[in-house]
Every structure is written in structure tokens, then in C-alpha cells.
Structure 1
Amino acid sequence: VKAGKVRYVGLSNESPYGVAEFVAQAEAHGLPRVATVQNPYALTSRALDNGLDEVMHRLQVSLLAYSPLAFGALTGKYDEVGLHGSARPGRLAMFETMKRQRWGRPEALEAAKLYNALARKHGLTPTQLALAFCYTNWRVASTIIGVTSTAQLDENLAAWGTTLSPELLAEIDAIRWKHRDPAQ
């Protein structure tokens, strides 16, 4: 940072204690302050809401939410065929190791189906709901998305102006209370 080769310091996959300790050590030793944390944040992965969000808010550290579409599970592409039946599988379905990780767990896929159905019920695509949830959340400074086509990029960008009604947010919360952070 002092040499100008790096503008800001960030952390990835960090805990509340880790963020607080990095900030404290930077301040105590005159080091560059942590500006941001890159952690997973999606409808099916909201562990950040369980305390890390407060630490980051109070210490003025921003969130770069990664995998807001839960490796494609929150786009609806696995709803009907699961991880084994697609002629054009996504990354989550292509590799056995990916199927066993957070986004491919049966409970995470089941919760994703519920959120995707909720989106459709409210006239949204699953992608619109998932990204609007992140785009409009006070915790999120920016999202890290991955696309494999221009159409996917267009849909991700189109979700930017989507507003979620209080009723829809209440339904999101109802799903979360039944399926608490299944992609953790």
C-alpha cells in the first residue's frame, strides 16, 4: 500500500473475531487498515448475518459478497434435473468434489428450490430475486458474480433495479428460519 502497488487491504472468508483483530492490529502498528471482506453471501448462505455484519458495520469494513447465486443453484438451473441430469451441467454439477461442498449439499439445493419458486411466484426470475436480495442489502457493498454467457451477464445486470417488497422479504425470512444457512 505504501509503495502504491496495492490500493487497499482486504480479507477473504473471515470471521467476526478475525476482522476485529486485523483492524486492531493494523491500528496498533500503523499498518494499512482492512477495507473489505470477501465472504460468501447468498440466500442460502447468510452466516454473515449472525454477527460478522455488526462487526463490519461498526468497524466500517465493507462486504464483497461472493457467490450470490450459490454457484448457479439460485438461478433455477438445477431445480428440475438436480446435479446429475443436465445435458449442459454447470460447474457445480460437473465435478464430484463440488457436489459435496456447501452449494451442492442436498439441503442447500432444497432451500434454493424454495427461493427459486418464491421468485417465480412474485413474477421474478430466480436470478433477479437472489441478486436483488444482495444488491439491496445494507450489508453488501458489491457482489462478485460469474457468468458464462452474455445472456447471463445481461440478466445479472438487469436485476440491479429490482425492488423486493416487504411481503416478499418476509417470505424470504420465513424460508430462512426453516432452512437456516444450509450452504455453510
Structure 2
Amino acid sequence: MKTIPLGQSGIDVPEFCLGTMTFGTQTSETESHKQIEMSIEAGVNFIDAAEMYPVNPITPETQGRTEEIIGNWIEKTGRRDEIIVATKHSGAGLKHIRDGAPITGDRVAEVVEGNLRRLKTDVIDLYQLHWPNRGSYMFRQNWTYDPSSQNKAETLANMAEVLEALQAQVAKGNIRAFGLSNESAWGTAQWLRVADEVGGPRVASIQNEYSLLCRMFDTDLAELCVNEDVTLMAFSPLATGLLTGKYQDGAEPDGSRKAINGNLGGRVTPRVFDAVDAYLAIAEKYGVDPVHMAMAFTVQRPFGCSSIFGATTVAQLEHILAGRDVRLDDEMLADINEAHRAHPMPY
């Protein structure tokens, strides 16, 4: 499938990326390994993980299991050179990971060592900070976001020390590229500026939520990323399954994410199902599968984007991969924008 540059890293990645946050909970190791191989066969050789995964639920007992499952596949098959591996360093507040400690320069080497050990590899292609220490407006926190308690000097000093530690990992050959996640436009701009000052690795990507239902990225972050060559890695392009239509009219399929997390992390609101109906109607009008429409929308935006999808089952994966070459025409995109104006930010 089509590939795009991952920022200025020199790494080219496919427009789709296999998300793995259910590997080890909802998705068994056998099924997970099958998903990796099916994705590679379809040209999706980009795999995204995190030290805190799996989720649904997040527990101390399962933390790190996703990376271990990917590592077991690498060890078993010897096919490490066929995949681009991304993973993440957890931010402050997750009690069972380093007792909720923030990201600091003196922790980086320890965390990277753990990632490498679980992944059974000697290099991580893209190393991401999962969320900023100062907090984030992502995950529905935008409605009450208040940055007034932030300490700018402390934030910038922390960025400098973390970048210096990351550069040491680059020099050792442990990581190839550096990315952010759940960041803001100001935060991303500062990481870029401080990297220039201290000689740290340049931000190659930012992994933020982005879908037909969540388009906060479209303004300041889009402008920044276009001008600074930072690639969006869009997570939840199917809005945790809402855009498939499977939850319409009160439906709650057994084993689905909604069956485990009833409000889908705050995404179930009085307005969301009307918004989904509007997009389902557009898909029907143009004879395009709604899953394929939602995925294609994210990779046709006027900024570089690799869209991260998750599939609990092999059947879901087959469905998503079948639409990897779908493109939406201008008339359909115009209808999508009209629906967006009628149903802005439904959660």
C-alpha cells in the first residue's frame, strides 16, 4: 500500500498501522501473531505498541504483555526486518508503572531497556512519549482544560533532559526515531525547538486521536505538523467502533469494547449516535463501506497521516484491510464536511 515519510526520520511507513492494545486481553497470542502476519501480507508492516498495553482492562498483571507477544513473534519467526516497530514510554500517573512516576531523563535508559527486552529486539524504530507530564486535553479533557497551573521553566527543563537521554539511546542504536502522543500544538513546538537547542532527536510524529467524530487536530496542530514535517499517527480512526455502526439503536455486541467499557471512554453522548447516522448515510449514498470510508478519510487529509486501527478478531482485521486502497472523491468529502459542521465534536 501507499507509504509516507515519518517526519524527517528517513523511515517510510504505510498509511495504515496495526494497533495492538488488545493483544493479551481481548486478542489471544495466537490470534495476535496471525494478525501481524496478515497485516504484513497486506503491506501494513507498521506495528504500534506501548509499555502499558494491553487495555480493556489495564491491570498490573497484564502490563507489558502486548510487547511480549510481539517479541515472541519476532523470536519465533526471525522476521524482525519485515516490520517497523513503534512503542511508548508511559507518562505520569499510572500507579502500577514506576509508581506513577513522570517521564524524566534519568528514567529513559531503564524504560527503553524494558521495551527492548519484552520486544526481543535490539532496536525500536519509533519511540514515543505516551502523554506529557504536565497533562493533556485529550480523552475528553478538552471541555475543562486549564493549563494555568503549568510551570513553563520546569516543562522546558524536563524536555531538555529527556531529549538528551533519548539522544544517548539513538547514539547506542537502541532507537531510530522519536515521537509524541496526546500532545498539544504548544508542546510539540517546544519539543522541536528544544531538540534544536540541545541536539536531541527531532520529533518525527505525534500520535493523537483523530476521526470523523474527533477533529481537534484540524487547525493548530495540522498547521504545525505541515510546516514542521511531523507526521500524525491517528488513533481511534473508527472512534472505538462507533463509526462501524455496530452500536446504533442501543446495540451492544458481546465481547465488544462497549460491552467492557460502557461509555467508550466518554465517547457515548446524547449527540454521538445522530452524528454516526449522518456518516453512515453518506457511506450508503456513495456505496462505500463505512469502515473503509472512515479509514480513508484520515489518510486523505492535507497533512501526513498513518492511521492506527485495532482489530479484536481476524475477521475484523480482514474487513479493515480490504479497504486499504479506498479513496474518497471530492463530492463525498464535501458531504463529510457538511456532516461535520452539523455534528461538530459530538463527545
TM, length-normalised to structure 2:
0.49
5+ long unaligned stretches in structure 1: none
Looking at structure 2, the residues matched to 110 and 93 of structure 1 have their Cα atoms a distance apart, in angstroms, of 20
Correspondence for 1:90: 256
Looking at structure 2, the residues matched to 61 and 73 of structure 1 have their Cα atoms a distance apart, in angstroms, of 28
Residue 47 (str. 1) matches residue 228 (str. 2): no
User: What is the CA distance between 1:146 and its match in structure 2?
Assistant: 0.5
Aligned-partner SS, 2:211: coil
Correspondence for 1:127: 291
Correspondence for 2:199: 30
Aligned-partner SS, 1:143: strand
Structure 1 contact 102–182 (Cα < 8 Å) conserved: no
* Aligned amino acid, residue 256 of structure 2: G
User: What is the CA distance between 1:173 and its match in structure 2?
Assistant: 0.4
Looking at structure 2, the residues matched to 48 and 130 of structure 1 have their Cα atoms a distance apart, in angstroms, of 16
Which structure has more helix as a fraction of its residues? 1
Aligned-partner SS, 2:307: strand
Correspondence for 1:171: 335
| Higher-Rg member (1/2) | 2
* Aligned amino acid, residue 213 of structure 2: T
Residue 145 (str. 1) matches residue 314 (str. 2): no
- Is the deviation greater in 157-166 or in 61-70? 157-166
* Aligned amino acid, residue 325 of structure 2: G
Residue 181 (str. 1) matches residue 345 (str. 2): yes
How do residues 60-139 of structure 1 correspond to structure 2 at under 5 angstroms? 60-80=229-249, 82=250, 85-88=251-254, 90-96=256-262, 99=263, 101-139=265-303
Aligned-partner SS, 1:2: helix
Looking at structure 1, the residues matched to 242 and 259 of structure 2 have their Cα atoms a distance apart, in angstroms, of 10
Looking at structure 2, the residues matched to 90 and 179 of structure 1 have their Cα atoms a distance apart, in angstroms, of 25
Structure 1 contact 63–140 (Cα < 8 Å) conserved: yes
Structure 1 contact 14–37 (Cα < 8 Å) conserved: yes
**Cα distance 1:100–1:155, how it changes in 2: closer, same or farther (>3 A)?**
closer
* Aligned amino acid, residue 163 of structure 1: R
User: What is the CA distance between 1:100 and its match in structure 2?
Assistant: 6.2
Aligned-partner SS, 1:11: strand
* Aligned amino acid, residue 238 of structure 2: L
TM, length-normalised to structure 1:
0.89
Looking at structure 2, the residues matched to 16 and 142 of structure 1 have their Cα atoms a distance apart, in angstroms, of 19
User: What is the CA distance between 1:8 and its match in structure 2?
Assistant: 1.1
5+ long unaligned stretches in structure 2: 1-169
What RMSD in Å do the two structures reach over aligned CA positions?
A: 1.6
Larger RCO (CA within 8 A; separation ≥ 6): 1
- Is the deviation greater in 12-21 or in 156-165? 156-165
Matched residues, number: 178
Looking at structure 1, the residues matched to 275 and 207 of structure 2 have their Cα atoms a distance apart, in angstroms, of 23
